[in-house]
Structure 1
């Protein structure tokens, strides 16, 4: 059964787009902009920590950002790179230099033209150590990017130059096969220096200063209630944008989100109570789409007893992943025996990276009893036989979603199988992100969706210099392997280095993979033509309401 599920999961991502619903001509007014256009009302979570493209590191914030900004490239409904702000580009023969030509009709939401200098400013801001952008490492591919972020070089040395207002020249450290995908990622979006510099901390919270260049513009933000975006009539492709507005309801409680959905107050709810999933499957409201991502726990290796690799491995082996999937998550997830999920290409797309790399332990229900025995043995070797002398530690999770139920199951498994007690601490999403990022935790719930479809997006986050390395785990050999994979132009060599890097990551176990994600949500059958990306973003700019 597991092989069939995996095969279906891979096929869905590798061979098909993830379009939800097909449009028809029932409602011709859907594309009439603010004159007769429609309002899309959805919830994708609670109050976002930020919608500043430079500072955001969460999927909910990114979904809002991609509606208000656009990069040099963008991804279409099949996840393919297409022209964005750049109408064309040239690449040098060795793949290390790009010249982007910005379209003449690219404008900001206030009508000013988008310029090459807007990208230069944005990318330098992201790499400025004072900015503290967690995604700064996505710009390390650009010449001198890492040195600038580490304070070793001035920002002016970055390999990006505005040759004129409409020509941007980018020099890379080495050829990067997925660089065009990166230019569609929010951290690399352009920014207006005059808007940001006047209020660096608050510009992205107010409609009057949140100047974007995408299909929508921020109209209002009632904190902890709703964020509304209205169609940007200055967008170069405004005539292709269907809704007149998108209202993101900020709902923290899954039960409240489902109630709003059932009362026809919202058209889509991105997170629902897991106990309601069986009934929603019967009603036909629920959708389960593939995602390139992994649900896991991260361990702060700077804090005892998690500085002991045997403790970390024991905790991982004592989790019954299939039980969590069958009884709590209930979304056809796949138990994770590694970190990089299925459907990420290897040297070839098939067999994929996960199939080639195999599991690092058997996550199946059949292997669980043997895993418990090995976990007990490791914990005893670490100095805590039957959990004796093991300190009470804290597991932090964000209160939105079904994370508490999963944490409670893990808490019980560790108590029953290892004799250790874990305290659970729930935090609101924005607070939790800070807690995890600053290392003010012992064990924390985590999840990661790929930023592009390559193993690197899952592996370079664990380098010693990554702003996403919440485990605070450092391994010089790991860093070297990742650098080898980044600079190599040989695909087989790249994949070999990344497999070796994952060997180190899983061997030292600063993380505990639980399952590979699917996206479980509810949507009205009359909401058509939205796009749910396997990378986690939801696109509503082409959506229509067809009742």
Structure 2
């Protein structure tokens, strides 16, 4: 996800509005388990970017898609793929061939049936280079996907075929142990071609140009508004088991605003920051979250000559005291990073050792100002420079600004370094990063599933998320071998991913900062939300307000 993934100081959390909390203690259809008013008000600290699944890169939009759309599978409360539109799957040829039967009663919100052709169209569209889907590489295990995305083959050659309206055939180039988890992620969901053709470039830019096949449908979003509603989708095949009638979402750039709304009972949820976490540890509504979402500092080697020097990049990393950052600035339970891949993303299949521990490179994320100054002097000499004057581009949230000021102060302790902070709206920052229009920037990543490849692929060869100018052939080869040769050999694959992480950190491709906590207040009357720390975080399909 940033995902992006970008987590980018986004509350992977989601939504809120000005209606009441809806937690009345009366029954629903005579059942005292449910309140009479099934409405939840949820706070979010970043706006929606798009509702076009081929265009989404951020967690807020992915969360919306997960709740308004549906694919073959949906993750259950244990993070395991469970049938959604799929009713039966047969896997053969060593894990490379899939035959999936689809339910006949799934419908789009416009009344059209959801068919196998909708999946074929969606996948082909995302891989078509004209679509410019940044996440297209997730589909590369599908036969001919990479060639299509690089304009070497026609989309019609993709290894997915509709056998009638209700059966899919999927052919992979190699076995992928986590492929069924990918199929539960919005990029692999279907699209209604009639709607895409009808709205053209405007598809997914407002709620009016969006159609849904999931438990809710997007409403009251004009494309730039800071509020929207997920309303119950009456066309959803399993609507009888969807209890909420609406999830009202409201963007609050500061947790002070959403916190006050929560205390005024105008919101059912709020993200917490700093002192708010400390003040609410004993609050019955307090929920601690530590998702696999990270923040890092990226250098653009194409913009600043000095950043081409390994010594300079190492100096910048060594000048930042991450423990002070999480303990004194964030104060929200976030954890200082010791590498690029965070904690909780996987364990050695033989020894059980956590990936972030096994792959740690001493000194790559350790504070040492004296060493930083020595490295910087070396880097200046290597590049023929005497100073660094760089702009740090960040999102316009309170937390982003606080972290930026800390990093600015830290780096300006180095001789000749001047850092200027530039705050821009979140969606605008995503565009600038995608275009390589920055010198220094905070980038975030939230995994789609719990596997180290989810993070390492950010820097894979040809990745649209790597606009830093960093390249490494050995790193590319290790990822290629891990994915394309060792899919059925977990131990060999694991060792190559560990080696790849070590290369990433030894060459200081980026500066990991912290794994971001997302602690929140969630009203105790809100039940049934499925939380996924290693993917799209919130699924409201079976959520309800208790009576």
TM-score when normalising by structure 1 = 0.89
1:344-355 aligned at under 5 Å gives the runs 344-348=345-349, 350-355=352-357
Measured in 1, the distance between the counterparts of 2:414 and 2:470 equals: 26
- 1:421 corresponds to which residue? 418
Go from structure 1 to structure 2 and tell me whether the alpha carbon gap of 1:120 and 1:522 turns closer, same or farther (over 3 Å shift). same
- 2:327 corresponds to which residue? 326
Say whether 1:38 aligns with 2:38.
yes
List per-residue Cα deviations over 1:338-371 (Å, max 9, x = no partner).
11112222332821212222344275xxx63xx2
- 1:146 corresponds to which residue? 146
Go from structure 1 to structure 2 and tell me whether the alpha carbon gap of 1:459 and 1:30 turns closer, same or farther (over 3 Å shift). farther
- 8 Å CA contact 1:31–1:242 kept in 2: the answer is no
Go from structure 1 to structure 2 and tell me whether the alpha carbon gap of 1:126 and 1:388 turns closer, same or farther (over 3 Å shift). closer
- 2:459 corresponds to which residue? 462
Go from structure 1 to structure 2 and tell me whether the alpha carbon gap of 1:416 and 1:285 turns closer, same or farther (over 3 Å shift). farther
Measured in 1, the distance between the counterparts of 2:312 and 2:398 equals: 28
Q: Deviation at 1:275?
A: 4.1
Moved more, 136-145 or 353-362: 353-362
Classify the secondary structure of the residue corresponding to 1:99: strand
Q: Deviation at 1:445?
A: 0.6
Measured in 2, the distance between the counterparts of 1:418 and 1:116 equals: 61
- 2:183 corresponds to which residue? 183
Classify the secondary structure of the residue corresponding to 2:219: strand
- 8 Å CA contact 2:26–2:35 kept in 1: the answer is no
Say whether 1:402 aligns with 2:393.
no
Q: Deviation at 1:418?
A: 4.5
Q: Deviation at 1:118?
A: 0.3
What is the aligned residue count? 516
- 1:495 corresponds to which residue? 494
Q: Deviation at 1:47?
A: 2.0
- 8 Å CA contact 1:65–1:186 kept in 2: the answer is yes
Go from structure 1 to structure 2 and tell me whether the alpha carbon gap of 1:546 and 1:30 turns closer, same or farther (over 3 Å shift). farther
- 8 Å CA contact 2:107–2:237 kept in 1: the answer is yes
Go from structure 1 to structure 2 and tell me whether the alpha carbon gap of 1:312 and 1:287 turns closer, same or farther (over 3 Å shift). same
Say whether 1:258 aligns with 2:259.
yes
Moved more, 300-309 or 253-262: 253-262
Measured in 2, the distance between the counterparts of 1:357 and 1:503 equals: 6
List per-residue Cα deviations over 1:72-98 (Å, max 9, x = no partner).
111112211111111111101411011
Say whether 1:157 aligns with 2:157.
yes
- 8 Å CA contact 1:388–1:419 kept in 2: the answer is no
Measured in 2, the distance between the counterparts of 1:35 and 1:346 equals: 42
- 1:545 corresponds to which residue? 545
Gaps of 5+ in 1: 1-23
- 1:232 corresponds to which residue? 233
1:55-204 aligned at under 5 Å gives the runs 55-204=55-204
- 8 Å CA contact 2:127–2:149 kept in 1: the answer is yes
Classify the secondary structure of the residue corresponding to 2:348: coil
Q: Deviation at 1:277?
A: 3.0
Q: Deviation at 1:325?
A: 0.7
- 2:10 corresponds to which residue? none
List per-residue Cα deviations over 1:8-37 (Å, max 9, x = no partner).
xxxxxxxxxxxxxxxx996542899x9955
- 8 Å CA contact 1:300–1:510 kept in 2: the answer is no
List per-residue Cα deviations over 1:422-460 (Å, max 9, x = no partner).
001101111111111110001101111111111110111
- 8 Å CA contact 2:360–2:502 kept in 1: the answer is no
Moved more, 81-90 or 193-202: 193-202
- 8 Å CA contact 2:337–2:514 kept in 1: the answer is yes
Q: Decide which of 434, 440, 444 is 1:447's aligned counterpart.
A: 444
Go from structure 1 to structure 2 and tell me whether the alpha carbon gap of 1:124 and 1:37 turns closer, same or farther (over 3 Å shift). farther
Measured in 1, the distance between the counterparts of 2:545 and 2:29 equals: 7
TM-score when normalising by structure 2 = 0.89
List per-residue Cα deviations over 1:506-530 (Å, max 9, x = no partner).
1221211011232222222322222
- 8 Å CA contact 2:329–2:402 kept in 1: the answer is yes
List per-residue Cα deviations over 1:465-487 (Å, max 9, x = no partner).
11222323222222221111112
Measured in 2, the distance between the counterparts of 1:392 and 1:67 equals: 44
Go from structure 1 to structure 2 and tell me whether the alpha carbon gap of 1:28 and 1:155 turns closer, same or farther (over 3 Å shift). same
Say whether 1:474 aligns with 2:476.
no
Measured in 2, the distance between the counterparts of 1:206 and 1:31 equals: 37
Go from structure 1 to structure 2 and tell me whether the alpha carbon gap of 1:35 and 1:107 turns closer, same or farther (over 3 Å shift). farther
Gaps of 5+ in 2: 1-22
Measured in 1, the distance between the counterparts of 2:46 and 2:446 equals: 18
Measured in 2, the distance between the counterparts of 1:96 and 1:49 equals: 34
Q: Deviation at 1:279?
A: 2.2
Classify the secondary structure of the residue corresponding to 2:88: strand
- 8 Å CA contact 2:361–2:506 kept in 1: the answer is no
Measured in 1, the distance between the counterparts of 2:132 and 2:30 equals: 40
- 8 Å CA contact 1:344–1:455 kept in 2: the answer is yes
Q: Deviation at 1:168?
A: 0.7
Measured in 1, the distance between the counterparts of 2:459 and 2:492 equals: 20
Measured in 1, the distance between the counterparts of 2:268 and 2:208 equals: 28
| Structure 1 vs Structure 2 CA RMSD | 2.4
- 8 Å CA contact 2:361–2:505 kept in 1: the answer is no
Say whether 1:529 aligns with 2:528.
yes
- 8 Å CA contact 1:71–1:186 kept in 2: the answer is yes
Q: Which runs of 4+ in 1 moved over 4 A?
A: 24-27, 34-37, 282-285
Classify the secondary structure of the residue corresponding to 1:471: coil
